Amino acid sequence: MKAIDVHSHLSTAPYTYEARYGKEVADALKVYYRVKEVIRTEEEMAKEFIDLDVKALIIAWDSETVTGLPPVTNDYVAKVAKDYPDAFLGAWAMIDPWKGEAAIKELERCIKDLGMIGLKFQPVAQAFFPSDRRFYPLYEKCVELKIPVSFHTGTTGLGAGRPGGGGYKLKYTQPIHLDDVAADFPDLTIIAIHPSWPWQDEMIAVLLHKANVYNDLSGWAPKYFSDSLKREINGRLQDKFMFGSDYPEIPVKRWLDEFESGGYKPEVIEKVFYKNAQRILGLGE
């Protein structure tokens, strides 16, 4: 196994941009990313990872309260992961935090019955501050279940370029909101998703200060990493970072090739590619 991709989306028919975000947002997103959406079968997608000798963690989707759209269910994503074990190590549950007690019950079902590995949020899409104490019962359940929780940080392609950003608000993904959660739940493993631009230095400060906060590097091609981020990856925070592609937005091979040629120490490349994920997420050897 060359690498573990801790942050990968599906590219299958039930998981299209339109299914997750609605047509207007989906159309704008394709313009922003400058991509043509390619729909694959589960088998075709799995083969891409197998051919690269990469195993991925895939992610469900639920922002129903904000969009009114039905979720891409945890059941579906968990099944894809189980059907193709040579490509996928597991799946992240995604749960709408506004669903209250039902969200907590769904989380427990996802972990105990579906075998999912942790919980993922996208606070811009779901319109909530991670530090809002109304959602602390979900984190308490994560601690009880001994699972990690991940949060999108920094800007997003959702609504980008549209008047008013399509109503999406970037304030929800400022990394400092994770600082409160980390302080109040020291036994909770927190994964900050993406390099967190434009608050990247703020993210680095939280990573330095909170031992239970880590960072997946998905969503950015490594050639665009800032000098300050590269310095931390190659230096004092090398045990904190994990490879994530944000596939299909960024091709997995492109991400790996750019990182390998980025001037990082060999032992750091090994840590970022898979060793840190094995340790932080308890994925084993």
Question: pLDDT at position 35, please?
Answer: 81
Question: pLDDT at position 30, please?
Answer: 86
What domains sit in the chain, N to C, each tagged with a CATH number?
3-280 (3.20.20.140)
What are residue 2's phi and psi, to 5 degrees? -75, -40
Q: ∠122-125-126 over CA atoms, to 5°?
A: 80
Q: What is the pLDDT along the chain (285 residues), one digit of tens a residue?
A: 999 999 999 999 999 989 999 898 888 888 888 888 899 999 999 999 999 999 999 999 999 999 999 999 999 999 999 999 999 999 999 999 999 999 999 999 999 999 999 999 999 999 999 999 999 999 999 999 999 999 999 999 999 999 999 999 999 999 999 999 999 999 999 999 999 999 999 999 999 999 999 999 999 999 999 999 999 999 999 999 999 999 999 999 999 999 999 999 999 999 999 999 999 999 975
Write b or e for each residue in 169-180: b if 16 or more Cβ atoms lie within 10 A of its Cβ, otherwise e. Answer: ebebbbbebbbe
Instruction: Tell me how long the chain is.
Output: 285
Question: pLDDT at position 285, please?
Answer: 54
Q: How far is Cα 154 from Cα 46, in angstroms, rounded to an integer?
A: 29
Question: pLDDT at position 34, please?
Answer: 83
Handedness of CA 113, 114, 115, 120 (dihedral sign): negative
Question: pLDDT at position 29, please?
Answer: 84
Q: What is the pTM of this model?
A: 0.96
Question: pLDDT at position 24, please?
Answer: 87
What are residue 253's phi and psi, to 5 degrees? -60, -40
Q: How far is Cα 82 from Cα 179, in angstroms, rounded to an integer?
A: 34
Return the residue matching tokens 């090994």: 270
CA atoms within a 13 Å half-sphere pointing along the CA-CB vector of 273 = 21
Evaluate whether 81 touches 55 at the Cβ level (below 8 Å): no
